[in-house]
Structures are given as structure tokens and as C-alpha cells.
Chain A
Amino acid sequence: MGFKEALNSLLGTTTLPGASLEKLFSISAASITMQAELDLKPSSSAGVCFKPIESQQYEAARKDIEELLTYSNKETGSTFRLETDEFRFIWVILKDPDFDDLVAGVHLVSQTFIEKGFGAYLLCAIFRFGNGQPVYWVYNFKQGLYYPFIPAPGKTRDSATEFRIRSLLERELPIEKDVGLWYPLWGIPL
């Protein structure tokens, strides 16, 4: 615990960590390895999940993002939609057959959010792989790291495969080392 953190605790001040986009793009290279070694193809959909907050600026930011996406999609040919999940978080779901465009789209959405000042409320970005049983790579904005999530029937997860994928991609993808932070997200809408 750093000094600033300790002081904040003592004084009861709450500050939220910001979002880091630095390592988001590393999924592009990793997708090639996943395809070659595991025969796992990207499924052409990805999502950014964020928490809507109570502020007029937030409404304005959301409109801006929608406009921006409509505009940029004309160039790349990808599509997007917004969805609210059961926890009242909002997902921007992007679809594009070209994986690099998809990653660029996720980056654009997150970047815009951060620029508007709402980076602290970005929960995660998710890339889906595989056509049958989905394999998700979750990007945690606060840590700036990825972790795998493979849901299995009955709200359990396929940890064995998650660990196998980790050992395979460890070198090219910045993966969260603390397995305790590999939080599951049930009912991912993509």
C-alpha cells in the first residue's frame, strides 16, 4: 500500500483508477497464434462494457460515440449496437469480419470514452473467439491486462482450457498474473 493510498484510506477519500489502453492492440497478434495453434478463429464480434452514470455530460458523450461509430463504420463496413445487460451496464457491441478493424473499433470507442472523461467507468472490452463454445479474452481497462474466460454449462468455467491458452499465449499477450482477478462475466451479449 502506497503512501497516497494509505492517506486516502485514512481520510476516506474515494478516487477511481483510470483506464489504460496501452496493451489493447496486442490481441491482434495473439489472434494469429490462436488461429494457427488452437484453430480458434475470431468470431467477428467484440464488445466494450461500461457503467452508465448520472450526468448530462455522460448523455452527451454517449451520443458522440454513436455518431462517431456511425461515421467510422461507413469506412470500415462494421456494424454496432448498444445493449443494456441485467446489471444495467451498457455494451457497445461491434461486428466486423476483419479482426484488425474490430480491434480498431474497440480502441476508438474506449478512447472516446476516456477523452470525454469517463474512462474510470469502463469495465472491460471482450473479444470472442470460436464459433461453437465461445472463448473470450477479457481486457481489464484498470489493470491494462487480458485474461481468458471460457464459460461452461451451469455457470461454471473451463479452467483447464483457460490455463492451457494462457501458457500458449503468455509471450505475446499481457495476461493478468493474479488468477484471482480473472473475474467471470456471465451472460456476455456476444
Chain B
Amino acid sequence: MIRWPRDWGLQVRMIGTLFLLVLVYFIFIAVLVYIGINTLLLVVIVMVFLLLQYFFSDRMVLFSMGARVVSEQEEPRLYETLTRLCAIAGITRPRIAIVDKDIPNAFATGRNAKNSVIAVTTGLLSMLNQEELEAVLAHELSHVKNRDVMVLTLASLISTAAFFIFRSSLMAPQSGGRNGKQNLWFIIPVFAAVVWIISFLLIKALSRYREFSADRGSAIITGRPSQLVSALMKISGMMASVPTRDLREVEGMNAFFIIPAISGSSILTLFATHPSVEQRIAALERIGREMVEHGV
């Protein structure tokens, strides 16, 4: 078997972030229980919200982005490119959707491989060559394989809950407190806001690490990190020089992120989740060097 060296630094940062998120989660719940907030109601609300997001986010995202799921007969070549990558990676093939926009971009959505959709814009299709397109599809396929929608949906659970509590605590009269700790109620908005900010930052970090992982996955599946480098450079070059009409379209896409922590989890665009292109290219080039040095 070919051995790809692991990126231990990335793994450690990923584990650290996940650990901190779980920690914040526990502290949050513990404090709420201590103060005497009706946590049951909160859990029910958050669960309903989460389930809705989990089961319908794919359709919501596709609809809001104007993505149309295409059949194998319509796009045989695109499907075969994806099929071959899936065969090599041993993943069930997701469906493909096309967004009729000049902006080159791609995203993956859906809770598991069977329900997943990988969407690409027409701008992306006309700009990239076969190898670059393959690399971008492999990147999105890695998001599907890593279950990033599920991981980030779960991760944003606390953030969402904290946000709800923050809002309702500002509005609700300061009554209740079953355990007679009414004197602690004034800290709730502050506490919820702090939890919200911390978890928001952790989620941002987590999604950056998931991007790096997906880049790495693309390099491993295609066996050619330089293909993704080339695609990223083409797309980012294009992004910098898009005409105004298209820039407004990009802003329109961003407007979809109403509550960033929530929307960010159900849509994994190629560029929205923030490590800089330079950082990503540097990481990919490192993988390329490792391949040559360590080889098999």
C-alpha cells in the first residue's frame, strides 16, 4: 500500500478544537442547570432545529443557491469523472448539481454520501481543465467522506443554543429560577454571549481545519496535489478580477449566511471557510514534497 504521511500538526489542532468545543458545551449545560434554566425546553428546541437542519439543509442550500441536480445522461462526462474518483476512494457516489453562475465555485451538501450533492457552477466548468476539475471534485468528495456537514452541524449546536438564550434572556422578564438562584439571572446574557463568541471562533477554526483536510484528501485521491494548486490559483485569480455584476452575485451568496455559525455548517463552499489560498497552496506543496521524498 502507498503510505501517505499523516499531517500530525493538523490532527492535533483538530482534536484540540473538538475537545475545547465539547468542554465549552459541558460548561454551558452545567451552568444552565445550576442556575435553573428550563434546559429541557432548550434541548427540545435545539433538537428540533438541528433535525430540521440535518434533514432539509441539502434541499434548502440547493434551492437558495439556484442549484439544479442533473442526471447522468445530462452530464455523462462530469459524472464519470466523479465516478472514477469515488471508485478510487471507495465512497458511494453523490449526485451532482449545477449552478448557472459565472463565478467559479463548488460546494458539497447533504448529511451522508447517499444524500449528498456536489454542486459546481458553470463558471467553474468552463474555467478549469479536466485535471483541475477532478481536483475540485475530489476536494468536495472529501468533505462528503469526512461528513463535514454533520460534524459542523453538531459543533454549531452550542453556538445556536447560546444565541437563542442570549436573545430570549434579553427579552424575558427576570423571573423563575426554580432553585432560588434568581440573583444569578443577570449573568445569563453575558454568559450566553461569551459562550456564543467562543464557540463561534472554535467553529471557524474547526471549519478551516476541515478545509485543509479536504485539500489533503483531494491530493491523496487524485495522487496529484499540483492539480488542486493549479485550480485554486486559477479560481482565486478569477475571484480577484471578477466584473461588478458577478461581485454582486457573490455578495448575494454571502447574504445566505444569516447566522454564520449555522449556515456555515450546511454549506461548504470552496472558498467561504477562510484559510487563505496562499496557506492552502503551501500545505499542498508540502504534501507534494513529502510524496517525492517518502514515496511509497
Contact = CB atoms under 8 A, between A and B. Distances in A.
A40 B77 CA distance: 29
Contacts of A119: 1-2
Contacts of B151: 9-10
Interface stretch (B53-61, B118-126, B221-229, B255-263): B221-229
A51 B88 contact: yes
B1 A51 contact: no
Given A54-B288, A117-B296, A140 B226 contact: no
Interface string B69-91: 00011001100110110111110
Q: Is the interface of B mostly helix, strand, loop or mixed?
A: helix
A55 B289 CA distance: 9
Interface in A82-127: 86-89, 116-121, 123-124
A14 B87 contact: no
Given A56-B292, A121-B88, A183-B87, A14 B221 contact: yes
Contacts of A140: 87
Interface stretch (B139-147, B157-165, B188-196): B139-147
A87 B93 CA distance: 17
Interface stretch (B33-41, B98-106, B172-180, B209-217): B209-217
A136 B83 CA distance: 18
A68 B222 CA distance: 26
Contacts of B245: none
A121 B4 CA distance: 13
- Residue of A14, A54, A184 with most chain B CB atoms under a 10 A cut-off: A14
A120 B1 contact: yes
Contact of B80 (A8, A87, A88, A156): A87
Contacts of B77: 86
Interface string B1-41: 11110100011001100100000000000000000000000
A140 B88 CA distance: 10
Contacts of A14: 4, 89, 142, 145-146, 213, 216-217, 220-221
Interface in B216-245: 216-217, 220-226
A183 B87 CA distance: 9
Contacts of B10: 12
Interface of B: 1-4, 6, 10-11, 14-15, 18, 72-73, 76-77, 80-81, 83-84, 86-90, 92-93, 130-131, 134, 142, 145-148, 151, 209-210, 213-214, 216-217, 220-226, 288, 291-292, 295-296
20 contacts: A8-B146, A9-B146, A11-B11, A12-B10, A12-B142, A14-B4, A14-B89, A14-B220, A16-B88, A16-B220, A17-B89, A17-B90, A55-B291, A86-B77, A87-B81, A88-B131, A117-B2, A120-B2, A183-B86, A186-B80
Given A123-B87, A183-B93, 10 more contacts: A9-B146, A14-B142, A53-B224, A54-B224, A88-B131, A119-B1, A120-B88, A123-B84, A140-B87, A184-B80
Interface of A: 8-18, 51-58, 86-89, 116-121, 123-124, 140, 142, 155-156, 180, 183-186
